[in-house]
Amino acid sequence: KAGEEEARERSRRENREKGFAHLRDGNTAAADQCFQRAVDITPRMAARVIEALKELGVESIVAPYEADHEMAFLAKTEAVHAVITEDSDMLAYGVERVLFKMDHAGNGMEIRVKDLSLNKELNFVGFTMEHFLEMCILSGCDYLPSIPGIGVKKAHGYIRRFKTYSKVIRHIRLEGLKVDRTYEARFADALRTFRHPWVYCPQQR
């Protein structure tokens, strides 16, 4: 996760620099988009939002660890009907209904796990959620960067062919791709993080 945070900070810094460059060129629309991507949400900002929600009578939950874990738990326990996010990792948690790219008017793109079998580009027929999770981790996630050269399509093909990540890693090494010696152990750690998250249960409190 530390590596992911470093990458996010680097991305925010780059977007901030691009934003100022667009401003100098007079392109305020492009600058605005870059500055939005450069924002780092601080605990103080979150606290102000929580206080505003309280004043409006809107319930909020502060996740004890990761917000992704908490949202996935609320969805799986049917405390919420869907999760609104920009993070594709939410699908790896097995959330049945995810809304992406939602705008101020409430328009967005809905992806449902049960519709994955209808995908024309990647064949998910016969895929279990375990297969899907391992594919997501193999292609790169918040807890483990992907092996260079392996994206979603290749990860899907490997899991479809070999079924388990350990067999995939063994095959990749035989193909001659460079795989860090700690990769398999870190893959197992990522799996545990997805499977056994630390969350807050509103019912048990």
Concatenated DSSP letters of 3-59: HHHHHHHHHHHHHHHHHHHHHHTT-HHHHHHHHHHT----HHHHHHHHHHHHHHT--
- CATH classification of 119-195 is 1.10.2020.10, yes or no? no
pLDDT of residue 205: 64
pLDDT of residue 4: 63
Going from N- to C-terminal start, the domains of the chain cover 119-195
Main-chain phi, psi angles of 172, to 5 degrees: -60, -40
Q: Which residues, other chains included, contact 98 with Cβ-Cβ below 8 Å and sequence gap of 6+? A: 82, 83, 84, 85, 90, 91, 110, 111, 112
Work out the average pLDDT over 63-81: 92
DSSP H helices, 77-182, are: 89-92, 129-138, 152-162, 165-174
Residue with tokens 């530390």: 2
Under DSSP, the state recorded for 147 is: P
pLDDT digits (tens, 9 = 90+) for 7-21: 778 888 888 899 899
Is the pLDDT at 2 greater than 60? The verdict is no
What are the tens digits of pLDDT across the range 157-199? 999 999 999 999 999 999 888 888 999 999 999 999 999 988 9
